[in-house]
Amino acid sequence: MTKVSRLPGAQTHHWDWQLEGSCRTVGSEVFFRPANEGRAEARQREQAAKRVCAGCPVRLECRRHALATQEPYGVWGGLTEEERRVLLVRREPGEIMPSAA
């Protein structure tokens, strides 16, 4: 579950970047794993999501959000759940987004 205490306040300027996301033109099923998805299907779905993210004008804002709030599910900013977990483990104390990301 997303750590709600890490979410920014209700001011819209914290969220306006989402209006520019390339993902808005694609169904959420590309970014989030269904319960019965196999490994091969997951890899294909994740690659499709990453292709959408690759050309997204707000990819870094999305990635920062996912790392800062520790989003547990889906592809955010071109990173899978596992890729985000690895980056969070490697980050420096107090760092929101690892510099290598």
Binding residue ranges: 23, 53, 56, 62
Please name every residue paired with 76 in a beta bridge, in sequence order, or none if there are none. 79
In the annotated binding site for [4Fe-4S] cluster, the residues are 23, 53, 56, 62
Buried b / exposed e across 22-45, counting CB within 10 Å, b at 16+?
A: bbeeeeeebbebeeeeeeeeeeeb
Q: In the 8-state DSSP scheme, what is residue 98?
A: -
Distance CA(70)–CA(7), nearest Å, equals 10
